[in-house]
Amino acid sequence: MYNLKMEFTKSLIKGKLIKRYKRFFVDVKLNKQKVTAHCPNTGSMKGLLDDRNEVYLSKNDDPKRKLKYTLEIIKAKNNLVGVNTHFANKIVGHALSNNLIDELKNNEKIKPEVFFTKETRFDFLVEKNKKKSFIEVKNVTLFRDKKTAEFPDAITSRGSKHLLTLVDAIKKGYKSYLIFLVQVQNMENFKIAKDIDPDYYKNYLIAKKAGVNFLAYRCSINSKKIFIEKKLNIIND
């Protein structure tokens, strides 16, 4: 299911960011014309939206689509950042299938989008030696210094709920993992942005104490493909 890397089917088109608005739209300068592209990231995108940042768009010529262009990558502070959150699970699925995540190698079964309760589903359920593990994936694009990525970039009550539900899964006999997928070049560390969402940090500590496994992995990013390449150090301060 996930044997292929997250590859762009066509070459991305380079432009300059003009502005983002109404969450789902970005205006971009391509050569001398202005185009409106779909923004597949509903988060705050804190630190990424400076006017004239270099951006990379994909193009879809399907006549049924209102917007032909989609924002895929932003270059911020000399780092390429993958902003299409729809790709996060595909990237992790590829990594699980190809044993790129050291702590989750050689799974016998990998199932995406599995319900734990009627209200909550996790991104993956994997099975190895009759032991089942739930995996939740969080896409990370925030970095406020040269080497450290952070999550979240805004208050996330949904994120806190996921943390506590991963704890519930442990109580019911599952192993629980949360993977912070860092789609930012050149990062070496990861930490929780506790100044942005203190409640998330509090629930992170609760989950960590309860046995949830936290992992942070950085992606290799270019205009042709995105895939997991390196485990990052998690700073707990």
Does residue 177 lie within any of the structural domains? Answer: yes
**What pLDDT is stored for residue 156 in this prediction?**
96
Does residue 110 lie within any of the structural domains? Answer: yes
**What pLDDT is stored for residue 4 in this prediction?**
54
Same domain, 51 and 25: yes
What is d(CA 216, CA 232) in angstroms, rounded to the nearest whole number? 5
What is d(CA 236, CA 139) in angstroms, rounded to the nearest whole number? 19
Q: Which residues touch 10 (CB under 8 Å, ≥6 apart)?
A: 58, 59
Structural domain for 38, as ranges: 6-82
Report the CATH number that the domain containing residue 184 is assigned in CATH: 3.40.1350.60
* Token reading at 19: 């502005």
CA dihedral (207, 209, 213, 216) positive or negative: positive
Does residue 1 lie within any of the structural domains? Answer: no
**What pLDDT is stored for residue 221 in this prediction?**
95
**What pLDDT is stored for residue 10 in this prediction?**
87
pLDDT in tens, the chain (237 residues): 444 568 898 889 999 999 999 999 999 999 989 999 999 998 999 999 998 999 999 999 899 999 999 999 999 999 999 999 999 999 999 999 999 999 999 999 999 999 999 889 999 999 999 999 999 999 999 999 999 999 999 999 999 999 999 999 999 999 999 999 999 999 999 999 999 999 999 999 999 999 999 999 999 999 999 999 999 999 987
Same domain, 218 and 109: yes
Same domain, 75 and 144: no
Report the CATH number that the domain containing residue 57 is assigned in CATH: 2.40.50.580
**Cis omega (within 30 of 0) on the bond before 112?**
no
Give the count of domains, the chain. 2
